[in-house]
Structure formats: C-alpha cells, structure tokens
C-alpha cells in the first residue's frame, strides 16, 4: 500500500490522517453512529479489492450518481487511491444529461443510490459494464457476475498515484447551457483543500454538516476533503435538505462548520427574520433607523445561532452572489459567515477569508498559492475579467482542446469569465459574469446582477433576471405568490383576481423603485412577472441562458 510522504495525492494525505486520527469519528448519516477513519480506511481498501475482481484498472472512469452518504466517500476515495478517475454526477441532472456524461466519459462502472436508480432505467451506454448500489456495494441486475463486495477482502496490488494524475472529471451544470468535463488532478484538489484549510482553524473535534451535493466541487473540496485533512467528522442528511429535516439535524449534530449557497440563508432571512420584524408596527419603524436595526439584527442573530445548534464557528457561503441586505444582516447579527469565490475549473476556491476578516460585499483576497489579476480593467470603473493562476487550476476540458485553449493561456493563466475589481488590500469584489454583461446603446457596460440586487430587495420579490430584449432592458421578476395570497385571503373572497391586480400594481411600483436607484443607462424599460420559479443549477444560480 501507499506510504505517507506529504505528496499532494488522495492516498498520501488520507494515509497521514489515518496515522494521526485513526480512531476519530470520520463520517455518519444523521441519527446513526459515525465510522472511524480506521474503519473508513478498511472499507476503501475492501472496495479496491472488489474493483480488482471486476477488472477495474488505473485510468478507468468510475461514475457516482448518489445522494450524500458515507459510502459516497468510500467510492470516491477507493477510485482515486487506485489511480482510476471518478466522475461525480449531480443528482438533479436529467436522464439525457446522465447518459451524455456516461458516454462522453466512457464510464466503465456507476455507483447509484436507490433514490436515483430509476434515472438509469432507459440508459444505454456501450462502455458501462457494471451498475452498483452505493448503499451496500451490491451489483444490480446482473446475475452472471460472481464477484461480491466483502469487507474481509484485501487488495492484491499496490498503486502508484502521482500528483499530476487525473483524479476527477467534473461535469458542470453551468449557467451557460452546455456541460463541460473539467479534468482535475490530485494536486489540483489537494493543494486547494490544503490552502483553504488555513482560512479557519479546524481539528478532529469539529463537526461538519453536509447539505450540498458532494458531486459539486464546492462541497467536495471544502466540505469533504478539508475535514479529512483535519480528522474532523462529517454528518450527512441522507435526503434532500427540506427545512424540517435540516432543523432537526442542526439540533442533533450541533455543527461547528457548514457550507451553504446564498439561497438557504436568504430564505431564512426573508421567510423568518424579516416577517418577525415587520409583524409589529414599532419594530418595522425602528428597523429603518440604523442604530435600532443593528440592535434588532443582533437579537435575531442570537436566535439564528440557536437554530443552527449554537456551536457554529464557520458558515461558508459560495456558489452564487449573496444578497447585499442579507449580508448586512449577517454582519450586524455577528453570525460567523464568510464568503468565498471560485469555479469548478479552479478546484474550486480562488479567494476567501476567515470569519473575523470579512469585508462587506467582498469575497476576500486570493487564497494562498493562488495568483489573481484583473485583466485589462476599465480605466474608470477598474472592473475587468479575473484571471487566475495556481496549482488548483484544472488540467483542461476533457476531449475538448479547443475550449481549453479559449480559457487557458500558454503561460498558465485561467480566464474565469467573471468581472470584478480589487481594492488596495487586494480584496476582490465580484460584479458580473462577462457573458451576462450587457453593452448599452452608447457603449456603457451594464451589469444585470447589480440591477437584480436592487430588485431582489423589493417587497414580495423572490428572485429576478434582467435581460436585454430588442435593445431594451427587461426585468423578469418572480414574486412570492403564496405570501400575497396569505395576505389578502382574509380581505377578499376572490383571492386569485385580487392577487393578479396586486402583481400589476407591484410591477408598476417596482419599476419606479428600481429606476430611482440605478444609474441612467441601467434603468429598466419593462417589468414582466415570472410566474414559475427560475430554473437553477446545483448551486442555485439561475440558468440565465434559458431566459435570454
């Protein structure tokens, strides 16, 4: 087996953890007893022995389509330890997307959880030889294969894994439409996790509660690899994180570290905290005065900490832009939040900061070992595209040298496609996606996200997308219909027509509200009600390309 030698590979780093923290708790489903790092190690090598019986070799592609659970981690580590390549698939991908990924990656084996197995019913992929249930590692629908998974089996071979060997191909859902296979090496992911770990002190007493899909690089590197480096324990919900399930898990686990997307904390603020404040005329009035707003937010912050189990030291937010009003609340509530910035192509983290050094609306400075620069900034606004360099930048896009050339320069800079500026302390302020930027009639750069952040702070607005249609700026707005119906059902019997009328009035009011708060060339010409919620990616970014 591999010996520990500080190499930036999964087997080397894991061996070090087992050596230091073998008896410590490693992973568990909420409500169950955790397995230790020693047990996890045994399970991994038993699965490698099973792979050998199935004829799996280094370099083979192994897909995982599963909800979060300890065996997801066993499958991931067993694959990477033997030099095979893991292909994590997002649980909310469609059958069509899953089939494309399996074909494109030429996956030989797929792990699937019971809840998602029906997505494979009509899939026909030539390279795919084995389908294995992730809960117990039993082969599904094949009686001819005699090999079984057995915890007592030992691996017959040792595998030499190098830092630059490919560890994973991550297919991004992407907000731009087409899924690309991002090739990440052992060094890409391990160097990123090692650097990111320094943002906040973590050790074997920490408890992580994992609520985002493990198949997404954000949760994978920060919420899966980092706790392994520190000997911490990770708890999984085992199901979709609906509010009732999440609240009981928070009570039970009392997590010290969590990673989230903005949507989760925004829902808590808009659905629980604001209604409490707006419920009484006095607090509603006082909330408009900064001194009292800070006091009310501090009180709400204490209650929020209790809801999260009372022991939280780090709440990481990433994957999409956080609403400004919600961030202001978190700051004044003294909630231990931190915002990071990254992309799948950078394994993912490029910029971040610890909870005691955050700056309003910033993602913090470049991560240690990462170089960031603003390429070709606008002389007036200082906004330009972020370029990044470091050991965490991907090997390229799988089977797509052309797309790889478009984003990776010859001297190793990765063009992120994100627009930002930096302050004198090198703190990064994200403005927009380059592809989202709209060029106005007189050549002005219009950043739709800035207009959306104004819209999203208007009453009854859930979310919005600003697009250009026939040379005009149009705001598509999804209002909280449930809230409106609740508000007016006591007044009128004919709720539906009344709500429709209210929406019309709100759109008119919103139109004036937005245009009084943005610069002249960012003013919207039209507001359209979007009845259904916008379709989103795994990190809850709106799939904007669907609405252009």
Write out pLDDT tens, residues 76-115. 999 999 999 999 999 988 898 899 999 999 999 999 999 9
In a domain, 242, yes or no: no
State whether 49 and 189 are in the same domain. yes
State whether 341 and 354 are in the same domain. yes
State whether 383 and 457 are in the same domain. no
What integer is the mean pLDDT of 352-361? Answer: 96
Q: Read off the pLDDT band of 173 (50, 70, 90).
A: low
The answer for 66, left when phi > 0, alpha when psi is -120 to 50, beta otherwise, is beta
Strand ranges (DSSP E) for 52-143? Answer: 61-65, 85-88, 109-112, 130-133, 138-139
For residue 315, the surrounding DSSP H or E stretch is strand 314-317
CATH (domain of 219):
3.40.50.12780
Which residues, other chains included, contact 142 with Cβ-Cβ below 8 Å and sequence gap of 6+? 130, 131
| 167 CA to centre of own chain | 19
Q: What pLDDT, on a 0 to 100 scale, did the predictor assign at position 545? A: 84
Give the total number of structural domains in the chain: 3
Helix, strand or coil, per DSSP, at residue 480: coil
Q: 383: domain range?
A: 257-310+312-389+406-433
Q: What pLDDT, on a 0 to 100 scale, did the predictor assign at position 179? A: 67
- 357-402: pLDDT as tens digits: 999 999 999 999 999 999 999 999 999 999 999 999 999 999 999 9
For the chain, count helices (H), then strands (E).
17, 26
State whether 419 and 478 are in the same domain. no
Q: Please give the Cα distance from 395 to 400 (Å, whole number).
A: 11
DSSP symbol at 536? B
- 5-33: pLDDT as tens digits: 479 999 999 999 999 999 999 999 999 99
The DSSP-derived string for 189-233 is HHHHHHHHGGGS---TT-EEEE-S-TTSHHHHIIIIIHHHHHT-E
What integer is the mean pLDDT of 415-433? Answer: 95
- 215-273: pLDDT as tens digits: 999 999 999 999 999 999 999 998 888 888 999 999 999 999 999 999 899 989 999 99
CATH (domain of 532):
3.30.300.30
In a domain, 474, yes or no: yes
State whether 410 and 445 are in the same domain. no
- Kindly report the backbone phi and psi dihedral angles of residue 364, in degrees, each rounded to the nearest multiple of 5, phi listed first: 90, 180
Q: Which position has the higher pLDDT, 471 or 245?
A: 245
In a domain, 148, yes or no: yes
Q: What is the mean pLDDT of the chain?
A: 92
DSSP symbol at 143? S
* Residues 44 and 26: beta-carbon distance below 8 Å: no
In a domain, 197, yes or no: yes
Last residue of one domain, picked from the residues 190, 218, 233: 233
Residue 176 has pLDDT above 50, yes or no: no
State whether 124 and 62 are in the same domain. yes
Task: Give the other-Cβ count within 10 Å of 240's Cβ.
Answer: 12
State whether 183 and 107 are in the same domain. yes
In a domain, 195, yes or no: yes
- 44-79: pLDDT as tens digits: 999 999 999 999 999 999 999 999 999 999 999 999
CA distances from 100 to 67, 94, 279 (A): 20, 10, 50
Residue 490 has pLDDT above 60, yes or no: no
In a domain, 102, yes or no: yes
Q: Read off the pLDDT band of 497 (50, 70, 90).
A: confident
The DSSP-derived string for 382-411 is --EEEEEEETTS-SEETT-HHHHHHHB-TT
Q: Please give the Cα distance from 260 to 210 (Å, whole number).
A: 9
In a domain, 483, yes or no: yes
* Residues 94 and 55: beta-carbon distance below 8 Å: no
State whether 507 and 366 are in the same domain. no
Residue 121 has pLDDT above 90, yes or no: yes
Q: Please give the Cα distance from 511 to 252 (Å, whole number).
A: 45
- 179-219: pLDDT as tens digits: 689 999 999 999 999 999 999 999 999 999 999 999 999 99
- Backbone CA torsion sign across 105, 110, 112, 117: positive
State whether 173 and 192 are in the same domain. yes
Residue 449 has pLDDT above 60, yes or no: yes
In a domain, 239, yes or no: no
State whether 355 and 492 are in the same domain. no
Could you give the count of Cα atoms lying within 13 Å of 286 in the half-sphere of its Cβ? 14
State whether 304 and 334 are in the same domain. yes
Q: Please give the Cα distance from 466 to 209 (Å, whole number).
A: 34
State whether 165 and 278 are in the same domain. no
Residue 1 has pLDDT above 90, yes or no: no
- The percent of residues above 90 in pLDDT, for the chain, comes to 78
For residue 207, what are the β-bridge partners? 233
Which residues, other chains included, contact 275 with Cβ-Cβ below 8 Å and sequence gap of 6+? none
Q: Which position has the higher pLDDT, 500 or 2?
A: 500
Residue 491 has pLDDT above 90, yes or no: no
Task: Give the other-Cβ count within 10 Å of 156's Cβ.
Answer: 9
């Amino acid at each position: 087996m591999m010996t520990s030698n500080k190499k930036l590979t999964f087997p080397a780093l894991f061996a070090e953890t087992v050596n230091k923290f073998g008896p410590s708790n490693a992973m568990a489903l909420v409500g169950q007893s955790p397995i230790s790092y020693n047990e996890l190690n045994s399970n991994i090598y038993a699965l490698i022995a099973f792979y050998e019986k199935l004829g799996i070799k280094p370099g083979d592609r192994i897909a995982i389509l599963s909800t979060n659970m300890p065996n997801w981690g066993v499958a991931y580590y067993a694959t990477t330890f033997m030099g095979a390549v893991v292909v994590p698939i997002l649980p909310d991908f469609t059958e069509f997307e899953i089939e494309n990924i399996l074909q494109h990656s030429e996956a030989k084996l797929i792990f699937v959880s019971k809840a998602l197995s029906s997505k494979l019913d009509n899939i026909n992929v030539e390279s795919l030889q084995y389908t294995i249930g992730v809960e117990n590692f039993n082969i599904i629908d094949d009686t001819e294969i005699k090999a079984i998974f057995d915890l007592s089996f030992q691996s017959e071979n040792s595998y030499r894994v190098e830092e630059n060997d490919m560890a994973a191909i991550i297919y991004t859902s992407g907000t731009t439409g087409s899924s690309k296979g991002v090739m990440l090496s052992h060094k890409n992911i391990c160097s990123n996790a090692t650097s990111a770990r320094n943002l906040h002190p973590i050790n074997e007493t920490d408890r992580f509660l994992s609520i985002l899909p493990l198949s997404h690089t954000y949760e994978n590197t920060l919420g899966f690899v980092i706790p392994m480096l520190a000997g911490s324990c990770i708890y999984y919900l085992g199901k979709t994180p609906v509010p009732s399930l999440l609240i009981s898990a928070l009570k039970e686990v009392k997590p010290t570290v969590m990673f989230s997307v903005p949507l989760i904390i925004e829902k808590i603020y808009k659905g629980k905290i604001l209604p409490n404040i707006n419920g009484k005329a006095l607090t509603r009035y006082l909330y408009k005065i900064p001194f009292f707003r800070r006091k009310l937010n501090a009180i709400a912050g204490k209650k929020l900490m209790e809801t999260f189990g009372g022991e939280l030291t780090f709440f990481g937010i990433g994957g999409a832009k956080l609403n400004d009003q919600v961030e202001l609340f978190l700051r004044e509530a003294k909630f231990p939040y931190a915002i990071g910035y990254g992309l799948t192509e950078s394994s993912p983290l490029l910029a971040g900061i610890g909870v005691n050094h955050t700056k309003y609306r910033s993602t913090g400075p470049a991560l240690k070992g990462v170089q960031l620069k603003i390429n070709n900034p606008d002389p007036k606004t200082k906004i330009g595209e972020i370029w990044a360099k470091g050991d965490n930048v991907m090997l390229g896009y799988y089977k797509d040298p052309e797309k790889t050339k478009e984003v990776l320069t010859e001297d190793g800079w990765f063009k992120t496609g994100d627009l930002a500026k930096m302050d004198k302390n090198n703190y990064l302020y994200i403005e927009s996606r380059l592809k989202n930027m709209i060029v106005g009639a007189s050549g002005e750069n219009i950043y739709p996200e800035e207009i959306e952040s104004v819209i999203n702070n208007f009453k009854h607005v859930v979310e919005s997308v600003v697009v250009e249609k026939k040379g005009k700026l149009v705001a598509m707005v999804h209002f909280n219909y449930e809230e409106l119906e609740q508000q007016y059902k006591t007044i009128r019997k004919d709720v539906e027509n009344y709500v429709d009328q209210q929406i019309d009035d709100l759109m008119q009011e919103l139109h004036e509200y937005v245009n009084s708060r943005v610069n002249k060339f960012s003013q919207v010409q039209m507001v359209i009600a979007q009845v259904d919620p916008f379709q989103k990616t795994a990190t809850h970014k709106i799939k904007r390309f669907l609405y252009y």
